[in-house]
Homo-oligomer: A and B are copies of this chain.
């Protein structure tokens, strides 16, 4: 590849002029034709600035890393698209990492920025990283923003409006006439799970419905865990007629469990899921979901990170736009008539 000095030589100028022309330095005044010669030389030699040279000089890599737990969830695509889009708009490159590698004692994060490979991180924690471990890990490092989760001891996060989302899901069941509504939620240690449960509780409260501890399960979001949760919910008496599953992938597992038990959906049991993704259209029955602005979380997260990197104090933001949207499909219906 061509280097700056080759451009300069070809254009008959010094490297510094070439550099400034190519970077569009605003406070540079040149004769139009010098400028043109440089531009032409760059085009002729098909010049692209060497990344390492620039990074070394500027002490910035213009790269960010997105660290996420599970790349096998289709949900992840939205977040990634948003982040990629926003990063590219600012001429940043995005690296993907897996957060199951990020354990309490690991220095993966520190190493990546220590090496200068990336300027900062978007970190979506995995559920088995405790608040304490997380805080130790990220300390008050302004080069990190937490995605979808927050932790008390630390600023710099962007999350969904989980209470609004879970509330909308619950209200949907309420509006169909359900009075016995269960929740298949995340693990209790997760702030995300707690917010979603709060939304659920809020909707029940406003509908004057009793919230029964026997109808809530907190095993986690995986299809397997949610399936187990659903099975145990079905063993309660009386059992719920509708359930909100706090994650689509879990809802898919829950549907499987119901099928195994021979329970008709939505005839005997309604299921509404938090989050929407393409698979939800193809389950049986197709899942009624609440679509959350996950893409926008990605966008906002890189914007937050970039502004932290340029010195602004870390903020905790919650993305409310677009608002949670109920995508009505076929897994929900009025409850069966009381015998």
Contact partner of A116 (CB less than 8 A), chosen from B52, B73, B283, is B52
B84 touches A80 (CB 8 A): no
Contact partner of A282 (CB less than 8 A), chosen from B94, B256, B286, is B256
Specify which chain B residues have a CB less than 8 angstroms from the CB of A283 in the assembled complex: 282-284
Specify which chain B residues have a CB less than 8 angstroms from the CB of A261 in the assembled complex: none
Number of copies: 2
Q: Does A50 contact B (CB under 8 A)?
A: yes
Specify which chain B residues have a CB less than 8 angstroms from the CB of A111 in the assembled complex: 48
Known A-B contacts A223-B278, A252-B279, A283-B282; the reply to A114 vs B48 at CB < 8 A is yes
Contact partner of A72 (CB less than 8 A), chosen from B52, B77, B284, is B77
Smallest beta-carbon distance A288→chain B, Å: 16
Which of A33-41, A53-61, A162-170 lies on the face that meets chain B?
A: A53-61
Known A-B contacts A279-B252, A282-B283; the reply to A52 vs B61 at CB < 8 A is yes
Q: Which of A276-295 contact B (CB under 8 A)?
A: 277-279, 281-284, 286
Q: Does A318 contact B (CB under 8 A)?
A: no
- Total interface residues in chain A, CB < 8 Å: 48
Residue of B nearest to A254 (CB): B282
Q: Given the complex of chains A and B, what is the CA–CA distance between A77 and B56 in angstroms?
A: 33
Q: Given the complex of chains A and B, what is the CA–CA distance between A247 and B43 in angstroms?
A: 43
Known A-B contacts A77-B71, A77-B72, A93-B95; the reply to A48 vs B115 at CB < 8 A is yes
Residue of B nearest to A98 (CB): B84
A53 touches B56 (CB 8 A): yes
B95 touches A95 (CB 8 A): yes
Known A-B contacts A1-B116, A72-B74, A95-B93; the reply to A52 vs B48 at CB < 8 A is no
Q: Given the complex of chains A and B, what is the CA–CA distance between A74 and B70 in angstroms?
A: 10
B72 touches A278 (CB 8 A): yes
Can you sample 17 A-B contacts with CB below 8 Å? A1-B114, A50-B116, A51-B61, A51-B115, A52-B52, A52-B59, A63-B117, A70-B77, A71-B81, A72-B76, A72-B77, A72-B278, A74-B74, A93-B95, A95-B95, A255-B282, A255-B284
Given contacts A95-B95, A284-B284, 18 further A-B contacts (CB under 8 A): A50-B116, A51-B117, A52-B53, A52-B56, A52-B61, A55-B55, A63-B117, A71-B77, A71-B81, A72-B74, A72-B77, A72-B277, A74-B74, A84-B98, A96-B96, A255-B284, A256-B281, A256-B286
